[in-house]
A and B are shown apart, each in its own frame.
Chain A
């Protein structure tokens, strides 16, 4: 069986000295960036991509995966200490983590978060090892029609699950798709929207979009909030020790939400944020003393922390086995794969087992180091939160600029970065979510290609989507995910109207 050989190769790759060093570096940097207010895994991954140039793809991706789950973990630290989640996936963590910190038990809260993250991360990697190859072998048989439908489902799911207005999320996705049509059309060689500009022939690089919409836009928000004094007032962290009762309280939620979080992470559009919220609500419903929630409950902290880390590994399932990211963060992760010349998808497991299994196997190591690094170093990490805002802003800008410049060596892209930073900031001001935009941008090229391939096979007839059973059912799901929130919103409006 080839898969066993693959697993062995993967573990060999992941346990090489080089890979271990880089996974440590990855989780370390990820934790720090994730802790910084506003800078989440998307910015962390995008900023780190230039560092991987010239590295061995397997090692580079092992490091990037470490950055990803490190950033998710780092987000919870600032949630607990400052009630200022660095990432949306850590918002639910602050519900009980921050009250606990206010009671002088910050150390305990951080320890619970670290152990819950470790459990969620580790259990879900086992599940990832089981599910990803199975899905890969199914996906090998997918034709272009099914692929098109699958990507469309990913887009509609993320749009309908985004916070706020579904229409705005869809507009955001369409806009991302529009931007990707800039450049030479891959199928016919026709120039589209290049306005005769040489620099636009190859289209815009995804780092320009990712760093612009997330990092630079975040800089604008940081500029506005730079005078908020609340940051940096961390009191004593307190003891990190947990007693037996705490561990007993944690075990239930940790088991449940390792699985639930993983499943939610696999589903397109869901991801860490939704997983953590659902877990929190679920645990509260299940609890005999729901009134404790929100006041520093151990269970209320362990549940979302387990779930958001489990969801992180879950999100790797569609990314590795289908080559289709289900969230904004995994979309940027896919970008990191493509920059290194690796195309994730059903063939990755057989063609590049050292990458497929190496990345998965490295997650065991990464999670262990996350625990080892975090528990003793937490008090020192907390100091990073005190870095003066003006300095932080300047450094984030510089990092983003070099990141973009190092791919193209062209200042044109830097102007584009600034432009997309402005666009990203305007989107924030008017509550248009950015993740659908970046997902549409990453998927856009593949989506168009598979659509046109499918229609070329069928000689232009749309019936190919009806004949392909997989495509048809996926399209149906996409339609459902699209109609459902609209109906829900209409109902809400009606209720409001009758109340008034």
Chain B
């Protein structure tokens, strides 16, 4: 029934619009405002649903090249998820073991994971880059980054 990608996408968007609209109706009202806080969200919710309906019936205007972008091999999806996992690990560790260590580990393992095998080059980058950034932020810009387990 759902032939084109536009139709599938538009259904997802209608659902998002409906959820957003549901949220808009739950915004508490404020008695002294001529235009209350819920007016705009309600308008936006309706607008998104209307536009999605247009999209449902719209002719597919994508070029072949744009369609090809969606053909991602399974292995590459694994790669993307892997990088996302590494980013999550970075966020979790940042405030625990500190900026310099986390960043060094991240640069080294992320490059390795993506297939970079020149360990000397990535090792040097992983050590120099976080240290330079750390001192630039803390000394020059006076922005404190988490120092973590390192003594400085």
Chain A residues within CB distance 8 Å of chain B: 50-51, 53-55, 164-165, 167-168, 170-171, 174-175, 177-178, 181, 185, 187-193, 219-220, 223-224, 226-227, 388-391, 393-395, 397-398, 401-402, 405-406, 409, 411, 414-415, 418, 422, 425, 428-431, 448, 451-452, 455-456, 459-460, 489, 493, 496
* Residues of B contacting A388 in the complex (Cβ-Cβ under 8 angstroms): 111, 116, 118, 121
Q: How far is the CA of A496 from the CA of B60 in the complex (A)?
A: 12
- Known A-B contacts A224-B76, A456-B35; A390 and B116 likewise in contact (beta carbons under 8 Å): yes
User: What separation, in Å, do the CA atoms of A394 and B112 have in the docked complex?
Assistant: 10
- Nearest B-chain residue to A459, judged by Cβ: B34
- Given A397-B106, A398-B106, A455-B34: A411 and B55 interface contact (C-beta under 8 Å): no
Cβ contacts under 8 Å, A390 to chain B: 110-116, 122
The proximity string for B residues 52-91 relative to A, scoring 1 for CB distances below 8 Å and 0 otherwise, is 1011001101100010011010001001100110011011
A189 near B30 (CB under 8 angstroms)? yes
Q: Number of contacts between A and B (CB, 8 Å)?
A: 176
In the assembled complex, the Cα of A402 lies from the Cα of B110 at a distance in Å of: 16
Residues of B within 8 A of A393 (CB): 83, 110-111, 114
In whole Å, how far is B11's beta carbon from the nearest beta carbon of chain A?
Answer: 13
Judge whether B51 and A171 touch: CB under 8 Å: yes
A54 with B80: CB separation less than 8 A: no
Contact yes or no, A431 B51, CB < 8 A: no
Which of B40, B62, B92, B113 has most A Cβ within 10 Å? B40
Main secondary structure of the interface of A (DSSP, over half): helix
Q: What is the CA–CA distance of A237 and B44 in the complex, to the nearest angstrom?
A: 52
Whether A226 lies near B107 (C-beta < 8 A) is no
* Chain B contact residue count (CB 8 A cutoff): 69
Which residues of A have CB within 8 Å of B40?
Answer: 181, 448, 451
B84 touches A418 (CB 8 A): yes
Please state if B143 and A171 are interface contacts (CB–CB under 8 Å).
no
Contact across chains for B94 and A405 when beta carbons are under 8 A apart:
yes
Known: A390-B113, A398-B129. 10 other contacts (CB 8 A): A164-B61, A168-B55, A170-B51, A187-B37, A223-B114, A224-B80, A395-B125, A402-B99, A418-B88, A456-B35
Given contacts A167-B51, A192-B27, A388-B116, contact A411 B121 (CB under 8 A): no
Nearest residue (CB) in A for B91 is A414
Contacts of B107 in A (CB 8 A): 391, 394-395, 398
Q: Which are the 9 A-B pairs with shortest beta-carbon distances?
A: A390-B114, A390-B116, A185-B37, A188-B30, A394-B110, A190-B37, A390-B111, A452-B35, A414-B91
| B106 contacts A394, C-beta separation under 8 Å | yes
Q: Are A181 and B116 in contact (CB under 8 A)?
A: no
- Nearest A residue to B62 via CB reads A431
- Whether the Cβ atoms of A192 and B106 lie closer than 8 Å is no
B133 at the interface (CB under 8 A from A): yes
Q: Which residue of B lies closest to A195 (CB)?
A: B23
How distant is B136 from chain A, measured CB to nearest CB, in Å? 8
Which of B30, B92, B143 counts the most chain A CB atoms within 10 A?
Answer: B143
Quick one: closest B residue to A192, CB to CB? B27
Inter-chain contact A224/B72, CB cutoff 8 Å: yes
B28 touches A190 (CB 8 A): yes
Min Cβ gap B61→A in Å is: 5
Measured between beta carbons, the chain B residues less than 8 angstroms from A191 are 27-28
Whether B51 and A428, one on each chain, are in contact in the complex, defined by CB atoms closer than 8 angstroms, is: no
Give the Cβ gap from A262 to chain B, nearest Cβ, in Å: 31
13 A-B pairs in the complex with CB atoms less than 8 angstroms apart: A50-B143, A54-B141, A54-B143, A174-B48, A187-B37, A193-B23, A388-B118, A390-B110, A391-B116, A394-B110, A414-B90, A452-B33, A459-B34
User: Which residues of B93-131 have CB atoms within 8 Å of chain A's CB atoms?
Assistant: 94-95, 99, 103, 106-107, 110-116, 118, 121-122, 125, 129-130
| Interface presence of B18 (CB below 8 A) | no
CB distance from A101 to the nearest CB of B (A): 23
Residue of A nearest to B129 (CB): A395
Picked from A53, A188, A395, A429, the residue with its CB within 8 Å of the CB of B36 is: A188
Q: Are A405 and B110 in contact (CB under 8 A)?
A: no
- B142:A54 contact, CB within 8 angstroms: yes
**Docked complex Cα distance between A219 and B111 (Å):** 13
In chain A, what residue has the closest Cβ to B77? A224
B68 CB to closest chain A CB, in angstroms?
A: 11
Q: B111 contacts A164, CB within 8 Å?
A: no
B residues less than 8 Å from A455 (CB atoms): 34-35
CB–CB A223/B80 < 8 A? yes
Q: Which one, B20, B55, B61, B111, contacts A391 given CB within 8 A?
A: B111
A70–B6 alpha-carbon span in the complex (Å): 38
CB-based contact A406/B115 at 8 Å: no
Residues in A neighbouring B76, C-beta threshold 8 A: 223-224
Q: B15 in the interface, Cβ–Cβ < 8 Å?
A: no
